[in-house]
Copies of this chain bind each other. A is one copy, B any other.
Amino acid sequence: GDAAAGKAKSAMCAACHGQDGVSMVPMYPNLKGQKEQYLISSLKAYKAGQRQGGMASTMQGMASGLSDADIENLAAYYSGL
């Protein structure tokens, strides 16, 4: 993915996951330096409604607006932080 495009797309993520991918809220996972493939897999699972429990419903709403390219770019951005 394209990390720069990911950064541009990440404004809506930063609200919960922190400006640098380290969240201030115990329930929201850190994304900074996470595995790129895992980030893609998780976002696609949320988008496909394959996750319930915890904040899954919130994340499903967030992910539903993302294209596969957005997902790959966001994963490139956060994994590279």
Interface set of A (CB-CB < 8 Å, partner B):
23, 25-30, 33-38, 41-42, 44-45, 48, 50-56
What are 29 sample pairs from A and B whose C-beta atoms fall under 8 A apart?
A23-B35, A25-B35, A26-B35, A26-B36, A26-B37, A27-B35, A27-B37, A27-B38, A27-B41, A29-B34, A29-B35, A29-B38, A29-B42, A30-B33, A30-B35, A38-B54, A41-B53, A41-B54, A41-B55, A42-B54, A45-B51, A45-B52, A45-B54, A48-B53, A50-B53, A50-B56, A51-B51, A51-B52, A51-B53
A27 / chain B contacts, CB cutoff of 8 Å = 35, 37-38, 41
A30 / chain B contacts, CB cutoff of 8 Å = 33-35
